[in-house]
Amino acid sequence: GDSVTQMEGPVTLSEEAFLTINCTYTATGYPSLFWYVQYPGEGLQLLLKATKADDKGSNKGFEATYRKETTSFHLEKGSVQVSDSAVYFCALSDQGSGYSTLTFGKGTMLLVSP
Amino acid sequence: GAVVSQHPSWVICKSGTSVKIECRSLDFQATTMFWYRQFPKQSLMLMATSNEGSKATYEQGVEKDKFLINHASLTLSTLTVTSAHPEDSSFYICSATTGELDSYEQYFGPGTRLTVT
């Protein structure tokens, strides 16, 4: 079945450092890929997405490129802020029956210090 | 827009009792709602998918008689944990989709922390 593997956290960085959170996936078809973010005490929010190979999703300074050859969707940000501290989930969707089910990675906690 | 709420945000109940968790879409009609369970430091595990007015579809290994799901309207789905036991303690999260063109996007509630004593 489908699966998502992402690096374990916590990832601890200083403000303005470069961020990479690795995510690889296994899927039988051609899934769409997502990054969700969960701030403390809040629900998951869609951060960015990519629906086909070589697509780059971007939002709030975060980027991720859908790499079919390496089955990866790594999340990057050039300069993190304290406000980026949250848990980040990589996920893929399996389209069908008019809606998609999501398969999530375990989540990676990011802690950014001033 | 696309806000999903859950109630309660946390609940403590005694073993053997039942507890109901509500999931509401506040500003859109949700044709499909999902229920997830999340253990500490684990990923979200899909429990079931529900469509308004029809029976929920449960994932393999999820007891449908224990986790009762009712999607009574386009803005409300409920999860009832029946005869709860300590192993049911977990974080339960719901999500909803609009069923429109971008139907792959799910909007998540903030979650409900259930502790069974």
pLDDT tens digits along A28-69: 878 889 999 998 877 788 999 998 899 999 999 999 999 999
Q: Rounded to whole angstroms, how far apart are CA atoms B5 and B28?
A: 12
pLDDT reported for residue B104: 62
Contact assignment for A101 to B34 by CB distance below 8 Å: yes
- The reply to whether B50 touches chain A by the CB within 8 Å rule is no
pLDDT at A97 over 50: no
Mean pLDDT comparison of A79-93, A94-108, B98-112, highest-scoring range: A79-93
Computed from CA positions of residues B13, B17, B20, B21, in that sequence, does the dihedral angle turn out positive or negative? positive
From first to last of the 117 residues of chain B, give the pLDDT tens digit. 688 999 999 999 999 999 999 999 998 888 889 999 988 777 889 999 998 888 899 999 999 999 999 988 889 999 999 999 999 999 999 999 876 655 567 889 999 999 999
Q: How many residues does chain A have?
A: 114
Q: Rounded to whole angstroms, how far apart are CA atoms B61 and A35?
A: 27
How is residue A41 written in tokens? 């005490």
Contact assignment for B103 to A45 by CB distance below 8 Å: no
Mean pLDDT of chain A: 91
CA distance A106 to chain B (A): 4
pLDDT reported for residue A98: 46
Residue A103 β-bridge partners: A92
Residue A76 pLDDT grade (very low, low, confident, very high; cuts 50, 70, 90): very high
Contact assignment for A101 to B32 by CB distance below 8 Å: no
pLDDT reported for residue A99: 54
* Amino acid at residue number A4: V
Computed from CA positions of residues A22, A27, A33, A38, in that sequence, does the dihedral angle turn out positive or negative? negative
B58-91 burial, b for 16+ CB within 10 Å, e for fewer?
A: beeebeeeebbbebeebbebbbebeebeeebbbb
B-chain residues within 8 Å CB-CB of A30?
A: none
pLDDT at A92 over 50: yes
Helix (H, G, I), strand (E, B) or coil at B85: coil
How is residue B76 written in tokens? 């409300």
Q: What is the dihedral of CA B80, B81, B82, B86, to 10 degrees?
A: -160
Contact assignment for A43 to B103 by CB distance below 8 Å: no
Q: Rounded to whole angstroms, how far apart are CA atoms B112 and B89?
A: 10
Please count the other Cβ atoms lying within 10 Å of the Cβ belonging to residue A104: 22
Q: Which residues contact A38 (CB under 8 A, 6 or more apart)?
A: A44, A45, A86, A87, A88, A89, A107
A-chain residues within 8 Å CB-CB of B31?
A: 99
pLDDT reported for residue A37: 95
Helix (H, G, I), strand (E, B) or coil at A35: strand
- The reply to whether A46 touches chain B by the CB within 8 Å rule is yes
Contact assignment for A45 to B44 by CB distance below 8 Å: no
Residue A95 pLDDT grade (very low, low, confident, very high; cuts 50, 70, 90): low
Segment A7-36 shows an average pLDDT of 93
Residue A104 pLDDT grade (very low, low, confident, very high; cuts 50, 70, 90): very high
Residue A67 burial by CB count (10 A; 0-12/13-18/19+): exposed, middle or buried? middle
pLDDT reported for residue A94: 72
